[in-house]
Chain A
Amino acid sequence: DAMVIQNPRYQVTQFGKPVTLSCSQTLNHNVMYWYQQKSSQAPKLLFHYYDKDFNNEADTPDNFQSRRPNTSFCFLDIRSPGLGDAAMYLCATSGLASQETQYFGPGTRLLVL
Chain B
Amino acid sequence: GNSVTQMEGPVTLSEEAFLTINCTYTATGYPSLFWYVQYPGEGLQLLLKATKADDKGSNKGFEATYRKETTSFHLEKGSVQVSDSAVYFCALSPQSRGKSTFGDGTTLTVKP
Contact = CB atoms under 8 A, between A and B. Distances in A.
B42 A98 contact: no
Interface in A17-56: 40-43, 45, 48, 50
B93 A100 contact: yes
Contact of A42 (B32, B41, B89): B89
B95 A90 contact: no
A102 B43 CA distance: 11
Interface centre among B31, B45, B96 (most CB of A within 10 A): B45
Interface residues of A, number: 23
Nearest to B99: A45
Interface centre among B32, B36, B89, B100 (most CB of A within 10 A): B100
Interface in B81-112: 87, 89, 93-100, 102-105, 107
Interface string A74-90: 00000000000000001
Given A48-B99, A104-B44, A107-B42, A41 B93 contact: no
Contact of B96 (A98, A104, A106): A98
A42 B36 CA distance: 11
A70 interface: no
Given A102-B46, A105-B43, 20 more contacts: A4-B43, A40-B87, A40-B105, A40-B107, A41-B104, A42-B105, A45-B100, A48-B99, A98-B94, A98-B96, A98-B97, A99-B32, A99-B95, A100-B93, A101-B46, A101-B49, A102-B44, A102-B100, A104-B44, A109-B41
